[in-house]
Amino acid sequence: MLSRTAEGLFWAARYLERADGIARLLQMGQRMTLIPGAGRDEWRSVVSVAAASDIFDPDERITERRIVEKLVLCPHTPSSVRYCLDRARENAKAVRTALTMEMWEAINDGWRRLETADLDAAVRELPVLIDWVKHRTAGFRGAAESSMLRRDAYFFLRVGGYLERSDLTLRLLDVKYHILLPESEVVGGGRDHHQWTTILEALSARRAYHHVYRSDFSPWTITDFLILNNQFPRSVVYCYNEVSRYLEMLSHAYGQRHDCHMMAGSMVAKLADTEMGELFQSGLHEFTLDTMRFNAQLSGAISRAYHF
């Protein structure tokens, strides 16, 4: 397979996953503004998870309208939904022969919707737009799952997708870690409860959480769920297990092992040995920072291994 094709698949999957992640964040943001006693700047944390702080004035009161303008419709903001979908489609188009017709249709169908959307209508219909983005990305993943041959192209796509997904969970933790710190439990009260649940909300994990823990919310269990639960498909450990698994399939298919395999393998082993208590002890914030850094290094190692 051409190195450029592998690169295109890897990035198409990453950008789609990113668009999906941003859409989920926006859903969380909108929900936060609905909580009684919400502050005046609920969107600020969404903006920082989306790594878009620098496009808003530090003193600006960020309105939903500004969010839709910048993080949904803007073709130039690197973390806007439109930007991510455009890049995903560009990458997919450049490697079109590696996609199945169903995958191409999933990514191509209606791709101009955001381009032609009017700001007022988009603000009014934000939940509809968010659903649309989630459906599109789900449609693409599903088309890949049900129509692609299980060989290198598929593996690159999955590696890219899971790597990006872990990144979003990590960024969310990075911005929200302070409300999960044990101290905040002392503060207690309904407000914290809402803060915690919004984190789960952002990852569409509220119901899943209950299925797993059958208990009330606590910072430990939420953090455990988002980082160490190997059943939850957006947890850091789950994503890494998948990244590592698909990298191993590539190694098997090509009969070659590279640095990236070692790196992913050691991360999986490390997470498997980690206990929640240790994470809090050694610092949740440090953990997320280190892991995000590791993510970037792993991405670089994958490019080097496959010549893209």
**Residues that bind other proteins in the complex, under the rule CB under 8 A:** 1-6, 90, 93-94, 96-97, 101, 104-105, 108-109, 152, 156, 250, 254, 256, 306-308
Q: Shortest approach of other proteins to residue 38 CB, angstroms? A: 42
Q: 126-129: long-range contacts at Cβ-Cβ below 8 A with a sequence spacing of 24 or more?
A: 126/26, 126/30, 126/64, 126/68, 126/72, 127/27, 127/30, 129/23, 129/72, 129/81
Q: Any residues with CB less than 8 A from the CB of 50 and at least 6 apart, and which?
A: 22, 25, 71, 79, 171
Q: Shortest approach of other proteins to residue 297 CB, angstroms? A: 20
Q: Shortest approach of other proteins to residue 101 CB, angstroms? A: 7
Q: Shortest approach of other proteins to residue 251 CB, angstroms? A: 11
Which of 164, 201, 168, 181 has its CA nearest to residue 286?
181
| CB closer to other proteins out of 200 and 250 | 250
Q: Mark out the alpha helices in 148-235 (DSSP H runs).
A: 152-180, 183-187, 190-202, 206-213, 219-228
| CB closer to other proteins out of 105 and 278 | 105
| CB closer to other proteins out of 146 and 230 | 146
| CB closer to other proteins out of 102 and 192 | 102
Residue 265, judged by CB atoms within 10 A of its CB (0-12, 13-18, 19+), counts as: middle
210 within 8 A of 190, measured Cβ to Cβ = no
153 within 8 A of 98, measured Cβ to Cβ = yes
Q: Shortest approach of other proteins to residue 50 CB, angstroms? A: 28
| CB closer to other proteins out of 54 and 109 | 109
Q: Shortest approach of other proteins to residue 308 CB, angstroms? A: 8
